[in-house]
Amino acid sequence: MQCPRPVVWSVPRWVPSRVVDVADEKTPSYEQAREELTEVVRRLEAGGLTLEQSIELWERGEKLASLCEEWLQGARVKLAAAMAQRRQPDPAGDAPF
């Protein structure tokens, strides 16, 4: 089992383990990766593939699953930070309500 990679945040767009420009379309979004992973699983379960094809699909599926997990972990970190910030008392004591 691999250790999780550190999460990197950027203003333009967050992509697991690295910062990319918005124009970089090489890294799929969570939804794209999940959709492709679903298709990989469907093809593997359907059978009728050669051993080589099955191995290639399996490897792609592993990469996609890791990418999805990184996206989810990044979302967890972002939510935890937002919730922690929300819980912090107002240092000036001036609550808006």
Asked whether residue 39 is domain-assigned, the answer is: yes
Q: What is the mean pLDDT of residues 43-66?
A: 96
* Rounded Cα distance, 17 and 14, in Å: 9
| Local structure of 61: helix, strand or coil | helix
Stronger pLDDT, 47 or 16, i.e. the higher one: 47
CA–centroid distance for 90 within its chain: 33
Please indicate, yes or no, if residue 19 is contained in any of the structural domains: no
Residue pair 54/44 in contact (Cβ under 8 Å)? The answer is: yes
Residue 5 in domain: no
| Residue 37 lies inside a defined structural domain of this protein | yes
**Residue 16 covered by a domain:** no
Residue 12 has pLDDT above 90, yes or no: no
Assign 96 a pLDDT band (cuts: 50, 70, 90). Answer: low
Q: How many domains does the chain have?
A: 1
Is residue 91 pLDDT above 90, yes or no?
no
**Structural domain of residue 46, as residue ranges?**
29-87
pTM > 0.85: yes or no: no
